[in-house]
Amino acid sequence: MVAKVHDIQMNDVNGILPNQKKTDDKQWLRSRKNVWLGTLFCGCAALYACRTTMPITIVAITKELEWSKTDAGSVLSCFFWGYSLTQVIGGYLSDRFGGEFVIMSAAIGWSVITFWTPQIVRTFDDHSVTLTFVILSRVLMGLCQGMHFPSVTSLSSQRLPDEDRTSFFSTVSAGVHLGTIFSGSIGSYVLESYGWPSVFHVTGVFAISWVLFLKYFVIERQISLSALKSTTDSQSQQQICPARTSVPWLILFRSSGFWAMIISHICETNSTHILISWLPTYFHENFPGSKGWVFNVVPWIICIPFSILGGWTAENLIRKGFTVTFVRKLMETLAQLGKAFFLLLIGSVQSFEAALFCMTFALAAGSFHNCAVFINPQDIAPKYAGSVFGLMNMAGAIPGFIGVYLAGHILEVTGSWIAVFNITAIVNVVGAVVYVCFGTGRCIVP
């Protein structure tokens, strides 16, 4: 009788009712899932608040240090040099040892670097030396942030059943838009009122606060619950350190669906990185009287419901009997072709309101990528989702330093924003066509 009461108490602690079926020990139960959903949502917000702080402040920094557009493009794009290098290792470590600790360790790095960026900028009097050290700090920040999404992918793949992953991941990914809103609204206000260094300090404090919450209120709580549960379940240690075999890369490399996923992701991230990096500069140059908080906030407010709606729609279509392959292709087509349409349209508009409308819905359409290719590694390789996502996102980071830099170079040589947007739209169309023809939602390596 005492043992039965203890079992009921343990189930209640973990968020499961006495009459509910017990799930796999590795998976989150109801209460822990909700805690991690909120925590990872805020973590993505902190991640992107830090990432987008430089694009928000680049105009002011460029003016103060007399950088050219090529210099500014180098600073904006070099983040992705580091970002691309740690994708696979971040996913591998998460698959082997658990994504919780990888997320926290990396977050310590990118949050502290954000806070100290103004000190790095103003340490040296020589602007060329300053440029070099700013680039190095951005590369290091990219190295740290590159581990985040592969770790989130690995964590959700390990801890959630198949039917819950799409909506969970889409909701968590919507946090990136909240982070951009944070830097665009509060960051723009702080920039205008107190100067660009304060933007990095405020964003850095926000990120460091999230890291402390993650460590002391989420991870340590999970460890405590696991230790308590281990008194009745000797298998509980697997919940923290799940065993993993080597990733069957050769099987994946021979699959056309795997390569379609990689190519489509590259095409979509190309447009996303270019818009995130150059959007503030575009509005400053073409509509100098516009308010920074408007164009830095409005597009990302719309993106949040679009991302959540996309995940909900995809999940419900699958539950109604549509194949995962069909749903992934449908959502990716809406993402890439929708973004291409509005990018082509923006070249013909003249007013600030029309430009803001086109830019907003280009980014909002791209939110459907979160419930399509972005979650595809969990479809094709659920046991190795972190490592596969890491490789995919490493490839997706390439446009970050090539596309963003080339956009700056095109602008400096031609001064044409239309050329940048048209080329970007064409790349999106290519991504949609490739994925529709060759993409898959079937499991390739079970």
Q: State pLDDT tens for residues 391-433.
A: 999 999 888 778 888 898 899 889 899 999 999 999 999 999 9
What pLDDT was estimated at residue 70?
Answer: 83
Per CATH, 29-221 and 248-445 having the same topology is answered yes
Whether the Cβ atoms of residue 291 and residue 328 lie closer than 8 Å to each other: no
pLDDT tens per residue across all 446 residues of the chain:
444 444 444 444 444 444 444 445 578 888 889 999 999 999 999 999 999 999 899 989 999 999 988 898 889 889 988 998 999 999 999 988 889 999 999 999 999 999 999 999 998 888 889 999 999 999 999 999 999 999 999 998 888 887 788 889 889 999 998 998 998 889 989 999 999 999 999 999 999 999 999 999 999 887 776 665 655 454 444 444 445 568 899 999 999 999 999 999 999 999 998 998 888 889 988 998 888 778 888 898 999 999 999 999 999 999 999 999 999 999 999 999 999 999 999 988 989 999 999 999 999 999 999 999 999 999 999 889 889 999 999 999 888 778 888 898 899 889 899 999 999 999 999 999 999 999 999 999 97
CA distance 31 to 259: 37
CB under 8 Å to 139, separation ≥6 — which residues?
A: 78, 79, 81, 82
CATH classification code of 29-221: 1.20.1250.20
DSSP 3-state assignment of 24? coil
Q: What is the pLDDT of residue 14?
A: 43
**How does DSSP assign 306-325, residue by residue?**
HHHHHHHHHHHHHHTT--HH
Rounded Cα distance between 420 and 413, Å, is 12
CATH class of 248-445: mainly alpha
Domain boundaries, the chain: 29-221, 248-445
Position 410, amino acid = I
pLDDT value at residue 235 = 47
**Distance between CA atoms of residues 348 and 299, nearest Å:** 19
| Per-residue pLDDT at 167 | 87
Specify whether the CB–CB gap between 407 and 274 falls below 8 A.
yes
Look at the chain and count its residues: 446
The reported pTM is 0.79
Reduce the secondary structure of 402-418 to three states and give it as a string: HHHHHHHHHHHHHCCHH
Alpha helices per DSSP H over 122-195: 127-145, 148-159, 162-173, 175-194
